[in-house]
Amino acid sequence: MSEVSPTELMVIVAARELKDGESVLVGVGVPNLAANLAKRLQAPNLLMVYESGAVGSNPSRMPLSIGDPCLVSGAKSVCSMYEQFAYYLQGGRIDVGFLGGAQIDKFGNINSTVIGSYKAPKVRLPGSGGACDIASNVKKIIVITPHEKRRFVEKVDFLTSPGFIDGKDGWRKLKLQGGGPYAVITNLCTFKFDELTGEMTVVALHEGVTIEQVQENTPWKVKVADDLESTPPPKQEEIEALRALDPQKIYLR
Amino acid sequence: MDSSKLMTMKEAVSKFVADGDTVYLAGFTHMIPFAAGHEIIRQGRKDLTLARATPDIIYDQMVAAGCAKRLIFSYAGNPGVGSLRCFRRAHEKGVPKPLEVEEYTHFGLSGRLFAGATNMPFLPMRTNLGSGLPAENDLIKTIKDPYTGDEVSVVPPLKPDVAVVHVQRADANGNSHIWGIIGEQKDAAFAAKKVIISAEEIVDESVIRSDPNRTLVPDFLAHSVVHEPWCAHPSYVQGYYDRDNEFYMEWDKITKEHDSTMEYIQEWVLGVEDRAQYMKKYPKSKLDALLPKPAFSAPVNFGSV
């Protein structure tokens, strides 16, 4: 079996989190690969909804953007941008939303807006797009991110999309209809969130990874689940199906 | 038939886009009216407030060319590629001039247009709470829900001075058929004070009337109608030409420096008269590769007794 890259590993582990019959709001890039992979494996009835208003897409090739024409050809429905956010997302009809970002903290708050200060940014990032809307309204937020110290931070420079804020109390006060962060999948491990405190907790280590490695790449003292598991290694069928989705390696670099 | 609405893009921009206007060039990835943006650059419009959920390459070009004073947006990236470098240069370094930003989430900005289109005083929505955005944008406010007493986020209506909406086909009065990703085209047309419709094809009114559900913009909203084939390139028009993803990736290289960006604008925007000349100049083999395989919908019966 050929070695999988860190990105391939994250996509494969993320895809396993999707269940048949769920609805998923799909972002461009890696989340799109994870959703399409799940659909080809354990979740043929996954309903893929795109921010661009395409519902029930069946893309014949990998779209570069979420507004790609291949998401429309053969889709179940296409609605306007406002309708997508109002009827589908705010309507409470989306189970899973994938998010990424430049920074994430231990409560799953995400920054995709600026590094540095908002008014005088060191690096201006694209901004929320639909991310804050998704984070506020889906039942489960799944974050896919490389495990790097610059990404995992004590405090995000800017809070673009709410996670559990400062723990579950802060989140409850907002009365969001969504369920909040559910999992963070990195190239080293899978985190889920403590039921009581809302803190990110390592629940599974990927093959060959030690908890020390996770700690070295996380700036706070990581919480580890009592029943820490090992992530089952990628299966041949997962690897083959994934590589077939992105033959030109646009995202699987 | 009032065919006086039919005009060239040059005439439409000259007549309906003024310095200082708030401009909305509609289209979520799909049918972005690049030809209108290029014409606005050629006519040297300045101090514009540019509004779009995704500024995309078109606003990156207009920012680089110095047309913009302010940007209203919700996602300023080049999807699948990276940054919008001209937007960043203007916002971070003031090159070629400083750019004010007014930022929303996608729901927030599309909600603002919806509120503008339907003349609502403001629109409540389940987002923004907990986010840092409201602290940086005074127009996103929190009020008390009069029914539950809960905190609720609201946004004000957005009513652009002018919207440009590119469509697959329109009649000479501006009744417009749109299909594929319909983004915020309808909302932009209903929200704006003046509307420029541009179309891949101008068809007879009977074609429009044969399929009225597909008419997202009725003629009385349109101030002008422009017949502009390939208006959206390098964006796309469903069923007419695909997205030029290669150019979207190339844009990242073109815009590494302000000077290299301006060389592009000199050659491809200022250096051509209009869209027809731009298309003539574009390598035909590249355009041929964008032509889609047909996928027709099943016909529907609109008959009645």
Whether B23 and B161 have beta carbons less than 8 Å apart is answered as: yes
Characterise A204 by phi-psi region: left (phi > 0), alpha (psi -120 to 50), beta (else).
beta
Q: Considering CB atoms only, which of B28, B92, B186 is closest to A67?
A: B28
DSSP letters, A196-252, are TT--EEEEEEPTT--HHHHHHT-SS--EEEEEEEEPPPPPHHHHHHHHHH-TT-SS-
Which one from A17, A51, A199, A238 is the annotated catalytic residue?
Answer: A51
The stretch B68-78 carries a mean pLDDT of 97
The stretch B184-192 carries a mean pLDDT of 98
Map residue B276 onto helix, strand or coil.
helix
Average pLDDT of the residues of chain B: 97
DSSP letters, B49-93, are EEE-SS-HHHHHHHHHTT-EEEEEES--EETTTEE-HHHHIIIII
* Statement: residue A64 has pLDDT above 80: no
Whether B130 and A107 have beta carbons less than 8 Å apart is answered as: no
* CB proximity under 8 Å: B 88-117 to A: 88, 91-92, 103-108, 110-111, 113-114
Band of pLDDT at residue B4, cut at 50, 70 and 90: confident
The helix-helix angle for B56-64 and B245-254 (nearest 10°) equals 30
B24 touches chain A (CB under 8 A): no
Whether A160 and A132 have beta carbons less than 8 Å apart is answered as: yes
Question: A203, A159, A110: which is closest to B136 by C-alpha?
Answer: A159
* Statement: residue B2 has pLDDT above 60: no
CA distance A102 to A110: 8
> Which residues have CB under 8 Å from A5's CB, separation 6+?
A252, A253
Whether B53 and A81 have beta carbons less than 8 Å apart is answered as: yes
CA distance B4 to B85: 40
Which of B60, B81, B95, B110 to substitute to test the interface with A, most A CBs within 10 Å?
Answer: B110
Q: What is residue A252's predicted lDDT score, i.e. its pLDDT?
A: 81
Determine the residue of chain B that is closest to A120 in CA distance. Answer: B92
| Gap from A138 CA to chain B (nearest CA, Å) | 11
Band of pLDDT at residue A6, cut at 50, 70 and 90: very high
B30 touches chain A (CB under 8 A): yes
* Statement: residue A27 has pLDDT above 80: no
Task: Give percent of chain B above pLDDT 70.
Answer: 99
Band of pLDDT at residue A60, cut at 50, 70 and 90: confident
Q: Considering CB atoms only, which of B182, B236, B295 is closest to A53?
A: B182
Q: Considering CB atoms only, which of B29, B114, B179 is closest to A52?
A: B29
The stretch A187-210 carries a mean pLDDT of 97
Average pLDDT of the residues of chain A: 94
Task: Give percent of chain A above pLDDT 70.
Answer: 98
Band of pLDDT at residue B74, cut at 50, 70 and 90: very high
List CB contacts (< 8 A) between A86 and chain B: 107, 111, 114
Strands A110-111 and A103-104: antiparallel
Contact: A127, B80; criterion CB under 8 Å: no
Give chain B's domains with CATH numbers. Answer: 3-105+159-270 (3.40.1080.10), 121-156 (no CATH)
Band of pLDDT at residue B52, cut at 50, 70 and 90: very high
The stretch B219-238 carries a mean pLDDT of 98
Task: Give percent of chain A above pLDDT 90.
Answer: 85
* Statement: residue B1 has pLDDT above 70: no
Whether A178 and A137 have beta carbons less than 8 Å apart is answered as: yes
B127 touches chain A (CB under 8 A): yes
Q: What is residue A66's predicted lDDT score, i.e. its pLDDT?
A: 81
Task: Tell me the HSE value of B285 on the side-chain side, using a 13 A CA sphere.
Answer: 0
Band of pLDDT at residue A50, cut at 50, 70 and 90: very high
* Statement: residue A250 has pLDDT above 90: no
* Statement: residue A72 has pLDDT above 70: yes
Q: What is residue A58's predicted lDDT score, i.e. its pLDDT?
A: 83
* CB proximity under 8 Å: B 188-227 to A: none
List CB contacts (< 8 A) between A79 and chain B: 182
Whether A36 and A59 have beta carbons less than 8 Å apart is answered as: yes
Model pLDDT for residues B26-51, shown as the tens digit of each residue = 999 999 999 999 999 999 999 999 99
Q: Considering CB atoms only, which of B30, B81, B92 is closest to A124?
A: B92
The stretch B153-166 carries a mean pLDDT of 98
* CB proximity under 8 Å: B 236-255 to A: 236, 238, 242-243, 245, 248
Model pLDDT for residues B127-137, shown as the tens digit of each residue = 999 999 999 99
Q: Considering CB atoms only, which of A28, A69, A128 is closest to B243?
A: A69
Tokens of B239: 């069923």
Q: What is residue A111's predicted lDDT score, i.e. its pLDDT?
A: 97
CA distance B147 to B289: 56
* Statement: residue A199 has pLDDT above 80: yes
CA distance B235 to A187: 34
Band of pLDDT at residue A2, cut at 50, 70 and 90: low
Contact: B133, A53; criterion CB under 8 Å: no
Determine the residue of chain B that is closest to A115 in CA distance. Answer: B92
Whether B164 and B224 have beta carbons less than 8 Å apart is answered as: no
Does the annotation mark A238 as catalytic?
no
Band of pLDDT at residue A31, cut at 50, 70 and 90: confident
List CB contacts (< 8 A) between A123 and chain B: 92
Q: What is residue A59's predicted lDDT score, i.e. its pLDDT?
A: 82
Give chain A's domains with CATH numbers. Answer: 6-245 (3.40.1080.10)
The stretch B200-227 carries a mean pLDDT of 98
Q: What is residue B115's predicted lDDT score, i.e. its pLDDT?
A: 98
B232 touches chain A (CB under 8 A): no
List CB contacts (< 8 A) between B131 and chain A: 128, 132, 159-162
Characterise B59 by phi-psi region: left (phi > 0), alpha (psi -120 to 50), beta (else).
alpha
Task: Give percent of chain B above pLDDT 90.
Answer: 97
* Statement: residue A113 has pLDDT above 60: yes
